[in-house]
Amino acid sequence: MKKTTIRKVFGKEHNILIGMIHLPPLLSIRGFSGMEEMLKKASSDLLSLERAGFDGALIENDNDKPHSEFANEAQIASFSIIAHEVCKKANIPIGVQVMLNDWRASFAIAKAVGAKFTRLDVFVDRVYCEWGEIHPEPRKIMEYKNKIYPELLLLTDLQVKYKTMIKPRPLVVSAKLAIHHHSDALIITGVSTGVETPIGKIKEVKETFPSFPVFVGAGVSYRNVKEQLAFANGAIVGTSIKSEKGIDTHKARRLKDSL
């Protein structure tokens, strides 16, 4: 089987913009407002991203707090329904990411609903965070992916925001390990959501692995998108294109037009 590539999924290799569809709290989580309301917001965000000319959309349940590494049954069930409806309506590739690092649920939902890609916050880096330590097993992750959905495009973070390395090491070492374990694209972030990713980190990884796809995973706005995508293949964008109600079409289009 041929390796899935960013060109195969997005139709190009550069200036790829993926917009975030942040779901309200899912079933069983405090603040859950009902499936109808969730679907309405997700559909609205999708339409805004498509109108702005974005190349893909990533559905994520970051509002399910307190965070945990893995989702419960109710979260998975409600996420699946929303993702299915979004994929049916979409004219751009859709990705799913469950609880930032629930690879089992992400792969399974993606296969069930026809999503084309996923993001995994922790793939090769051992880290600690608000809920404890994460010790990923990349071989186990890939075995499951290849069993359930080998064609799924896997984007993996390196030393991701909000998490601290248990044993620090150079960023390019993490990149080398992720490539070795068959990640399809690498994601670089800064320290937190909405904060610009240091251009030096992007350049370091891209110059070390020039032919391997790299995405910026935080802090991209219309002010810096041209500079950052001069090195990276694409960006995953949320904060800078949102308003109180969700994705703002005008903000998203302004960012797209700034490339």
The predicted-structure confidence for 188-210, as pLDDT tens digits, reads as follows: 998 777 789 999 999 999 999 99
DSSP 3-state assignment of 228? Answer: helix
Look at residue 1 and tell me if it is in a domain: no
| Pairwise CA distance, residues 218 & 197, whole Å | 6
Residue 104 lies in domain:
6-257
Residue 79 lies in a domain: yes
Q: Which two tokens stand for residue 10?
A: 């997005």
Report the CATH number that the domain containing residue 42 is assigned in CATH: 3.20.20.70
Q: Which helix (H) or strand (E) holds 133?
A: strand 132-134
For residue 127, the model assigns a pLDDT of 93
In 10 A of CB 253, how many CB atoms? Answer: 18
Q: What is the pLDDT at residue 193?
A: 75
Which regions of the chain are under pLDDT 50?
A: none
Q: Which tokens go with 72?
A: 């419960």
Strands of the sheet containing 127-129, edge to edge, are: 132-134, 127-129, 164-165
Q: What's the pLDDT at 180?
A: 98
Q: What angle do CA 191, 194, 199 make, to 5 degrees?
A: 60
**What total of structural domains would you count in the chain?**
1
Residue 223 lies in a domain: yes
pLDDT (tens digit per residue) in 110-126: 999 999 999 999 999 99
